[in-house]
Structure 1
Amino acid sequence: MGKKQKKKKIVWPKFVGIVLFMAIGAICGLLIANYIDSNAAEDISLGEELLTFFSLIIVMYISIFIHLIIHEAGHLIFGLMTGYSFSSFRIMSFMWVKENYKIKFKRLTLAGTGGQCLMTPPQLVDGKIPVVLYNLGGSFMNIITGLIFLGMYFVFQSIPFLSTVMLMMVAVGFVLAIMNGVPMRMGIIDNDGYNAYALSRNRDALRSFWVQMKANEQLTKGIRLKDMPDEWFTTPSDEEMKNSMVAVRGVFACSRMIDTQSFAQAYKLMTHFLEIDSAIVGLHRRLMVCDCAYCELIGENRSDVLKQLFTKKQIKFMKSMKKFPSVLRTEYSYALLSEKDLVKAEGIKVKFEKCAKTYPYPSEIQAERELMDIAEQKSKNI
């Protein structure tokens, strides 16, 4: 793949996402301007006019937040309708996880995502499970509620402020439905429409999706990747890695090698995956670079290789994921083994332990602590 083609492949989905978010701002801006203009003849002060303006700006952001909740609720509702069971529900960094038949509150931040509803899939029947309604349920719910708000607009049409708010809710709902429902690779993640499209292309992608969801279920039960069935982590071929859902299985295979402490094998496979033309999403790719850096640090610890791994984009990503366990583990190891800064390393370890208290997957915390211990032991032997 040429440099020009690769750049186009990476940039245009981000551009589309930005345009759609700008569309929300533009539509809401026109609605706000129209409301203020229609009330300009009234005897109101500049202060009241500014208060109205900023109130409607706040309403726009509240509308986005409400539709985010509606969207994730759509995945939950349509998932339950098609045989899935509840696993976790996240809005921003606030997460509710089913753990030992109880719903517990946790915290998790994932770059590029405003929320996520993960569910346990039904058993495969002839290699198939229903996927379209679960994946597109969020967009369907945004459209359904958008139509409801449209109906409420006509009900409250005689009340200018309320009718403007209703139209904002309509606009936000429809734009978010398009943003998530029309198949697009959004840079760091794939949207719901693309996932549904990828799953419909081949049965192997469908099974990979099933494995991904089942593995998540096992993590909520405190089971580590290394203790899950071997057949879930078969390494896809280079050609298979071009499907985004199958690529997740490749990522999981690498993560499992890290968990079994097969570092040389993991490093070799991750390096290969990062070099080939694959459909690994940006989030997984950046986290894989973190794992590569860790393997390098506890291995040959070559400064030139580490410099190549820690690009400006990678550093920016790690800052956006500063509360994620594997990112903190990598930063801790780098402080110990590359910078040889014990004070900085100890500070990162404190952050890790704080994060660990509310992290939804305790088995991953256990695994990360072991990796940090290996880095610490390595620093003592230098």
Structure 2
Amino acid sequence: MKKSFLRIASYISIAFIMLYAYLIAKGFSDWGKLLSFDPLLIPILSAGLFLSIYVHIFLHEAGHFLFGKLSGYRLVSFQVRHYKYSQTDHSLHHMQTASPVLAGQCLMAPPKGDYAELPYRSYLLGGVMANALTGASLYGSAFMMELKLGSLFVLFSLVPVWMALANLLPKAQNDGALLMEASRSLHARKLMFRQLEMAKLIEEKVPFADLPDAYFASLKDPHYQKSFLVDYFYMVAYVRALGDLDFEEADSLLLAFSANRPVEESVYWPVYVMESLFCDALFGRIEAAKGKFVQIQAHPLLKRYWIANSRIRAAYAFFCLADIEETKKLLGQGPAVAQDSSPETDANIELRLYRWLKSYFEN
């Protein structure tokens, strides 16, 4: 909470400094006029700034794409909020269930070669550089305009400047954190490159069971447990186990994840809480499941995940609450048909789990 407050305070301070520097440079001296403006401008400018966020998210991901291409990377997918372009079938998809924490993503496969020699800095920092250049261009242009129009340019330069800082200063798994982690050790870089390679295979709808076992060797190697990049491999291994309806293996993976990693610091913490509740319900750990349910209801982000996943809610209603009617209702909200013909894509694994739960009500 304290870090978030300091971060917000620093962004506000930067905004005031940029505006103050611009006004001083333009020779503005009537500071009383700053408070005399049409109140209707506030909602108009607020709406404009909000909409500009999507433009700068696109430019951020385009920066990753440009600098990635220059480094030899190959495009896998390009996503801005609910819209995703897939290079596999050259089509644009509307994502009904986009991650609540994913604003955009330019996923690219690294060039082939020795992990120790592959480039990564330009690809990781491409988005930051795109936002920084956009912000600098808008801010610099303001000095060549008359005061009122220039002030608007200063105002709209704040969004890309803030976005550049938010992605550069290490936090969670943003660009700055990934760069710092990849620069720390060869083990971390190997995890990052393997993650990109495996994400490419998943995007190409390679069955989870066919993903190379070598990618999951890091789960048993203590050298890799020191990096937050191993968290992704736990999650993929968990989904792979669910695809085989191997719930014992899935449960053991979550238990190992929580034992070896600081789970609450992971970007996959919401997924872990949800799926561990699912496993608790399946294995009769009723009190543990109910405790997580209380935690979910008290946390806005977790609650959004909860509402979006009828399968986990149905498992909780059936195994923990013994509420048959609610279970049937929730299962009726699940996927009715597979999204494609591949047997073990994420969508079809979810469908298989729904069918498994529905089998309890079949004669």
Cα distance in 2 for partners of 1:295, 1:68 equals 36
Q: Does 1:166 align with 2:153?
A: yes
Structure 2 residues without counterparts, runs of 5 or longer: none
Q: Displacement of 1:309 after TM fit?
A: 2.9
Match of 1:335 in 2: 317
Partner of 1:267: 251
Q: Is the 8 A contact 1:240 1:247 kept in 2?
A: no
Q: Is the 8 A contact 1:190 1:281 kept in 2?
A: no
Aligned-partner Cα distance in 1 for 2:123–2:337? 30
- Distance in 2 (CA, whole Å) between partners of 1:380 and 1:101 is 41
Return the match for 1:231 from 181, 202, 214.
Answer: 214
Matched, 1:285 2:269: yes
Checking the alignment, whether the CA contact within 8 Å between 2:209 and 2:240 is kept in structure 1 is yes
Q: How does 1:354-369 map to 2 (within 5 A)?
A: 363-369=345-351
Does the 8 A contact of 1:238 with 1:278 survive in 2? no
Q: Distance in 1 between matches of 2:33 and 2:182?
A: 56
Using the TM superposition, name which of 362-371 and 19-28 deviates more: 19-28
Q: Which residue of 2 aligns with 1:176?
A: 163
Distance of 1:28 and 1:344 partners within structure 2? 55
Structure 1 residues 349 and 290 mapped into 2: Cα distance closer, same or farther (>3 Å)? Answer: same
Percent identity of paired positions between Structure 1 and Structure 2? 21
Q: What is the distance in 2 between the residues matched to 1:323 and 1:161?
A: 46
CA shift in 2, pair 1:345/1:99, >3 Å: farther
Q: Following superposition of structure 1 onto structure 2, how do residues 1-382 of structure 1 map, counting pairs within 5 Å?
A: 11-19=1-9, 22=12, 49-156=38-145, 158=146, 160-182=147-169, 184-185=170-171, 189-234=172-217, 235-238=219-222, 240-278=224-262, 281-299=265-283, 301-313=284-296, 316=299, 317-321=301-305, 327-353=309-335, 363-378=345-360
Opposite residue 171 of structure 1, the aligned amino acid is L
Distance 2:333 2:32 in 1: 53
Q: How far off its partner does 1:59 sit?
A: 2.8
Offset of 1:168 from its aligned partner?
Answer: 1.7
Q: Distance in 2 between matches of 1:362 and 1:162?
A: 55
Report SS of the residue matched to 1:353.
coil
Shift of 1:278: 3.3
- Tell me the C-alpha RMSD between the 2 structures: 3.7
User: Residue type matched to 2:292 in 1?
Assistant: L
The answer to whether the 8 A contact 1:71-1:139 is kept is yes
Amino acid of the structure 2 residue aligned with 1:252: V
Give the deviation of 1:306 after TM superposition.
0.8
Q: Which amino acid aligns with 2:318?
A: L
Deviations along 1:108-164, whole A, 9 cap, x unmatched? Answer: 4223332222122222325442211111111111111112112321232x1x44212
1:226–1:256: 8 Å Cα contact kept in structure 2? yes
CA distance in 2, matches of 1:30, 1:373: 61
1:35-79 superposed Cα distances (whole Å, 9 cap, x missing partner): xx969879xxx9x81122332222332333322222122111111
| Aligned residue type for 1:118 | L
Deviation of residue 355 (structure 1)?
11
CA distance in 1, matches of 2:30, 2:360: 70
- Equivalent residues, number: 356
Q: Which amino acid aligns with 1:58?
A: A
Other structure's SS at 1:87 match:
strand
Instruction: Give the 3 Å change call, closer, same or farther, for CA 260–349 of structure 1 in structure 2.
Output: same
Aligned-partner SS, 2:262? coil
Cα pair 1:68 1:114 within 8 Å, conserved: yes
Summarize deviations over 1:65-116 as a string: whole Å, max 9, x none.
3222221221111111111122222222332223334444434422333222
In the superposition, relative to structure 1, how do residues 145 and 21 fare at CA in structure 2: closer, same or farther (>3 Å)?
Answer: same
Gapped regions of structure 1 (runs ≥ 5):
1-10
Contact kept, 8 Å, 1:204 with 1:246, in 2: the verdict is: no
Question: What letter is aligned with 2:278?
Answer: Y
TM-score by length of 2: 0.83
Distance 2:224 2:306 in 1: 32
CA distance in 2, matches of 1:57, 1:212: 38
Shift, 1:181, TM fit: 0.7
Q: Specify the code of the residue in structure 2 equivalent to 1:266.
A: A
Structure 1 residue 340, shift from structure 2 partner: 3.4
Q: CA deviation at 1:379?
A: 5.8
**Contact residue 85 and residue 120 of structure 1 kept, 8 A:** yes
Contact 2:82 2:94 in 1 (8 A): no
Q: Under a length normalisation based on structure 1, what TM-score does the superposition of the two structures give? A: 0.79
1:279 and 1:242 map into 2 onto residues whose CA distance is 13
- 1:165 and 1:351 map into 2 onto residues whose CA distance is 47
CA distance in 1 between counterparts of 2:4 and 2:207 reads 34
Matched-pair contact (CA < 8 Å) for 2:85–2:93: yes
